[in-house]
Amino acid sequence: MKIQKIEAIEILDSRGNPTVEVNLKLEDGTTSRAMVPSGASTGEREAVEIRDGDPKRYGGKGVLKAVGNVNSTIAKAIENKHFNSQKEIDYFLMELDGTDNKSNIGANAILGVSMAFARAKATSSSIPLYQYLGGGNAHIMPVPCMNVINGGKHADNTIDFQEFMIAPHNASSFTEAIRMGEEVFHALKVVLKSKGFSTGVGDEGGFAPDLKSNEQAVEMILEGIHKAGYKAGNDVSICIDPASSEMWENGSYKFFKSSQKLVSSDDMVKLWESWVKQYPIVLLEDGLAENDWEGWKNLTEVLGSKVELVGDDIFCTNKRILQEAINKEVANSILIKLNQIGTVTETLETIELAYKNAYNCFVSHRSGETIDTFISDLTVGINAGHLKTGSGCRGERVEKFNQLMRIENELGKSAQFAGLKAFKNAL
């Protein structure tokens, strides 16, 4: 099957910033579309997202260069060419770029083509995308980790830590888990309002109140869980992503939005140890910064057998970095973001390496999103058991949940909700 036509345009993401959309047509007439997301708290070793840098357009954030690279370099190389598999086209694109970090053509250009090809091939073969990505055994429906309070770089408020998520795991299905999560989200709104806090939302759709402390965010959520009629820990647990690389300053962690206090890596580990003792936390992502590998080793020794420790900025969905972490016994789970590495194939290779070494995979959106639901299919495809894709009040996040409900309906009796066992060491 040849690729007949490929075309990119500049569209908008959920923050109103430009991003790349790719439209692809196969020889048999199958068409597909992919939209590329974009992060704000990015890891230093992520594949390169090319932005124009022209201050007259979107403050330099335009993506016309990346769009142009799809429409010229990539189109010239792949139109009227036959690719047998995802691996074949992705390796071809990587070679065409010729760099380690996709800085030549741009990860935002390459990923759009890679995702659009996957979607077209699935449609053309009359199989769902989750099956194309993961094979016939794809059937585990994930626990939706819903980001209900936003802080850090994702909100203009006083909270240092970036994400406070609820994990409604005591459900019989994904659809039920979403209902529980939404009920808690709505109860939390009432709790915040009753205490005089703002109920405006941040980049990922969670509330963004000016709370007095990071701890208060957890306390508010616990109240919300209770108010919705659920038992914290039994029915709904908590996941945290402080995105602590953003707090890293000269070897310490700075509480940059609240107290301005500086804390050592050892003290951060102590803080997480006390939070895990005090609160029903099942997952901690980026508890320490990407350049604090010594601290990460310490964190893994202290908490690695108690909760899921997910590496985001530190691993960048990169199998070479993940291998380093496996060798050093750092973390026990990896965050999966397609645009951190830039192709579908490399993402799947990283996932394979994680599973081979008993690491969990936690699939993730970016803070700048579109309505593309590729990650919903990826999550089921690889039986990841859990994903994070914001809260249930912004269209671009809700669409991922809706796609998962469609998949659950389509799988029928073979669908199995992951529940608490999705989280490493939770049982």
Ligand X SMILES: C=C(OP(=O)(O)O)C(=O)O
Binding-site partner at residue 364 among Mg ion, ligand X, none, CB < 5 to 8 Å by type: ligand X
Classified as helix, coil or strand, 345 is helix
Element (H, E) at 282: strand 281-285
Contact flag: residue 203 with Mg ion (CB under 5 A):
no
Q: Is 150 helix (H, G, I), strand (E, B) or coil?
A: strand
CB of 123 to ligand X, least distance (A): 28
DSSP H helical segments within 279-371, as ranges? 293-303, 319-328, 338-341, 344-356
Which residues, in sequence order, are CB contacts of 320 under 8 Å at separation 6+?
Answer: none
Helix (H, G, I), strand (E, B) or coil at 375: helix
Q: Which residue is nearest to ligand X (CB)?
A: 39
Catalytic-residue membership of 337: yes
Instruction: Tell me the CB-side half-sphere exposure of residue 332, using CA atoms within 13 A.
Output: 21
42 binds, among Mg ion, ligand X, none (CB under 5 to 8 A by kind): ligand X
From the list Mg ion, ligand X, none, which binds 318 (C-beta under 5 to 8 Å, kind-based)? none
Which residues contact residue 279 at a Cβ distance below 8 angstroms, ignoring those fewer than 6 apart? 218, 222, 238
| 364 is an interface residue for ligand X by CB under 6 A | yes
Output DSSP code: residue 386: E
Asked if 312 touches Mg ion (CB under 5 A), the answer is: yes
Q: Which is nearer to ligand X, 35 or 171 (CB)?
A: 35
CB nearer ligand X, residue 90 or residue 241: 241
Q: Which of 319, 337, 400, 424 is catalytic?
A: 337
Footprint on residues 94-133 left by Mg ion (CB under 5 A): none
Packing angle of the helix pair 107-124, 344-356 (nearest 10 deg): 80
Spatial distance between the Cα atoms of 28 and 88, rounded to a whole number of angstroms: 19
Active site residue 356: no
Q: Is 223 in the site for Mg ion (CB under 5 A)?
A: no
Residues 281 to 340 in contact with ligand X, rule: CB under 6 A: 312
Closest of 334, 327, 278, 325 to residue 306, by C-alpha: 278
Q: Which residue of the set 46, 49, 183, 204 is catalytic?
A: 204
Query: Is residue 424 within 8 Å of residue 332, measured between CB atoms?
Result: yes
97 SS3 class = helix
Which partner in ligand X, Mg ion, none is near 235 (CB below 5 to 8 A by kind)? none
* Binds ligand X (CB under 6 A): choice among 14, 30, 32, 41: 41
Q: What residue number has its CB nearest to Mg ion?
A: 312
Interface mask (CB under 5 A) for Mg ion, residues 366-395, using x and -?
------------------------------
Q: Does position 241 bind Mg ion by CB under 5 A?
A: yes
Spatial separation of the C-alpha atoms in residues 295 and 51, rounded to whole Å: 33
Candidates 30, 367, 370, 379: give the one binding ligand X (CB under 6 A).
367
Cα–Cα dist 311/287, whole Å? 8
Report how far residue 390's alpha carbon sits from residue 400's, in angstroms, rounded to the nearest whole number: 9
How far is residue 298's CA from residue 292's CA, in Å, rounded to a whole number? Answer: 10
Which of 243, 276, 303, 331 contacts ligand X by CB under 6 A? 243
- Interface pattern 284-303 for Mg ion (x via CB under 5 A): --x-----------------
Instruction: Select from 119, 366, 400, 424 the one that contacts ligand X (CB under 6 A).
Output: 366
Q: Work out whether 346 is an interface residue with Mg ion (CB under 5 A).
A: no
- For ligand X, the closer CB: 39 or 385: 39
The pair phi, psi for residue 26, each rounded to 5°, is -90, 165
- Burial class of residue 173, CB neighbours in 10 A (0-12, 13-18, 19+): middle
Among 90, 160, 182, 241, binds ligand X (CB under 6 A): 241
Give which of Mg ion, ligand X, none residue 39 binds (C-beta under 5 to 8 Å, depending on kind): ligand X
Cβ closest to ligand X, residue 1 vs residue 40: 40
40 vs 263 by CB, closer to ligand X: 40
Q: How far apart are CA 192 and CA 239, in angstroms?
A: 19
Q: Which residues bind ligand X (CB under 6 A)?
A: 39-42, 241, 243, 312, 364, 366-367
Q: Which residues bind Mg ion (CB under 5 A)?
A: 241, 243, 286, 312
Annotated catalytic residues are 204, 337
